[in-house]
Amino acid sequence: MIPIKKRRGLALLVSALSLTTIVAVSGTLAWYQVHVHADVEYNGTSVGNSTKFQIGLKSSATLTNYESYNFTRDTTDTSIYWANGDLSSDAIMYYLESNGYATNVLNCVTAAGCYDTDVDLTTSPSYLDNTKTSASSSYYIRLNFVFRIINMNTGGLITNKDIFISDAILDGEGNAYKCLRMYYVGNDSSSGLVNLSEDYDGNDVYGGPLDLNTDGYYDYISDVDTGGSIVSNEFAYGYYSGTPSYGELVTTDPGPSTSGSTFVGNHHKDVYPIASGSYSSSDYIGRNTLCENETVLTSIGNTGYATLDTYLFLEGWDKNCINNIMGDRFGLVMTFESK
C-alpha cells in the first residue's frame, strides 16, 4: 500500500490490486481474459479551520444500511450520502455492491465507445468476431462523487469553486498499473480520459490485428472473390472508420511468433496483412496535465454541490494488458482539492 501524504484536501486510495485468471487455462491469455481483485479506500480531511471540504456518493440504489457505514443522507437530495469523516473501504464496497458495480473483481474493458458525457465501456472482441457489446457494470468501478464546502461559522454552503486533483500516485509491480484508466464526467458536461501511469498526454488506439487463437500468427479470414479464387486477409479487430487497406501478399512462412502477447504475431503465408487502418483513438491527459496544471474536473455551482462521476477500469487495448501482468499488484492515491 502506498502511504497517503498529509495535505489539505480529499484522498482516494485504490490499493492492493492483484491480477489473476478466473479459470485455469494454459498458454497465453487474450487481454480481455485478465481479471483484477481490487480494494478501494477513501480518506478525507477538512480544508482550513473555517471551512469543511466534504465528499459523498450519489447512489441510484437506496442504501438502506447507510448509517452502519457512517453515512449521513442528504435532506434535500436523498440519493446523496455524505461521509462523516473518512469514507471507509467497507462503505465504498457497500456502495458498489448496492449499485451493481465491481467490488473485488475487475474485467478488462475498453473506453472506445466513450464520447464526451456518453460513457459506454465495451467488452473485447472474440476470435474472428468484432461485435461491440456494452460491458456489464460489474466489470468496472464507478464512483459518483459529490463535493460540498461548508462554512463552519455560518453553516452555509460555499459556491463557485473548482474541484481538481492536486496529486496522483500510481505505481506497482510489473506493468499491471499501466493499464489503469480513469474516465470522468463532471458538472457542465465536462469529461475526459486520464492515464495516471504516464506523465505526459497521449492517446489510446482502439484497434488492430490480434492473435486471439494464440497460434503465433495474426488472425485472418478467407473469402472467395468474384473470380472464384480464395483470398485471405488479416482480420481487423476493434473500432475503425472506413475499410482497412492491405499490404502485399505474404509469400513465405516466418514461423509462429513466440512473443506471448495477443497483440504481437507474425503474418501468415498466403495472407494479405493489414497495412493501415483508420482505427479510432482517444486522447488522454497524463499526470502532469492533470495535477501540475490543476485540470478542473468539476465545479461547485450555485447549488453548493459538485458531482464527479468517475470510472476506474483496465483498458484492454493497452499493450501492457497481457498474460504476464497476472499476479502483479499496484496502488493509486488521488488527492482532491478545491479553490
* Sequence-ordered list of residues with C-beta below 8 angstroms from that of 127, at least 6 positions apart, any chain: 212, 213, 219
In the structure grid, which three cell numbers stand for residue 29, read together?
491469455
How much is the pLDDT for 242? 82
Distance CA 86, CA 94 (A): 14
Distance CA 306, CA 123 (A): 30
Are the CB atoms for 314 and 168 separated by under 8 Å? no
Under the banding of pLDDT at 50, 70 and 90, the label for residue 275 is confident
Give 274's strand partners: 246
Q: Which of 42-51, 112-121, 212-221, 244-253 has the lowest mean pLDDT?
A: 42-51
CA angle 157/162/167 to nearest 5° reads: 120
Assess whether pLDDT exceeds 50 at residue 1: no
Q: Which pairing describes strands 71-73 and 80-83: parallel, antiparallel, or unpaired?
A: antiparallel
SS3 (DSSP) at 69? helix
- The continuous run of DSSP H or E covering 298 comes out as strand 296-300
SS3 (DSSP) at 196? coil
Assess whether pLDDT exceeds 60 at residue 41: no
* pLDDT per position as a tens digit, 157-205: 999 999 988 888 777 777 878 888 999 999 988 999 999 899 999 999 9
DSSP sequence for 205-272: E-EE---TT-SSB--EEEEE-TTS-EEEEE--EE-EEEEEEE-PPP-S------S--TT--BPPTT-B
More reliable by pLDDT, 139 or 271:
271
Distance CA 163, CA 299 (A): 6
Query: Whole-prediction pTM value?
Result: 0.84
> Residue 60 gets which letter from DSSP?
S
How much is the pLDDT for 327? 63
Average pLDDT over residues 199-222: 95
Average pLDDT over residues 105-115: 87
Under the banding of pLDDT at 50, 70 and 90, the label for residue 334 is confident
